[in-house]
Amino acid sequence: MKDLYSLLGISPGATSELVKSAFRKKANQFHPDRNASPDAPARFRDVRAAYETLSDPTKRKAYDDLRQRSLIDDPESTAVEIWSSYCSGVLVD
């Protein structure tokens, strides 16, 4: 499971306005028309999917519930995935 919050570079407590602002920033950064990098289209799709989930209150609640269950059921693998995603975002950006 990808950490949608780290894809947008925000915390889980972010407001809907912050989600929208972070999406716009990342969308501009990874839009294939503006970024010639070979991985830009895939990163843009990931950012768009994260925004679609986190901008809808119902989908966001379901995602947060699933995220919480994942941390409880298998905390080690979930933590590794979250930190890997975070570190790759920090090192790439």
Number of domains within the chain: 1
77 Cβ contact list (under 8 Å, min separation 6)? none
More confident site: 93 or 88? 88
Residues 45-75 have pLDDT tens digits of: 999 999 999 999 999 999 998 888 876 666 7
How confident is the model at residue 82, as a pLDDT?
A: 73
| 57 secondary structure, DSSP code | H
CA distance 82 to 93: 16
The gap between the terminal CA atoms of the chain, to the nearest Å, is 21
The boundaries of the domain holding residue 52 are 4-92
Does the predicted model carry a pTM greater than 0.85?
A: no
Here the CATH number for the domain that contains residue 76 is 1.10.287.110
Residues 30-40 have pLDDT tens digits of: 999 999 989 99
How confident is the model at residue 89, as a pLDDT?
A: 60
Instruction: Return the closest-CA partner of residue 24 out of 50, 60, 57, 62.
Output: 50
Find the length of the chain. Answer: 93
Q: What is the share, in percent, of the chain residues with pLDDT greater than 70?
A: 87
Tokens 């972010």 label which residue? 14
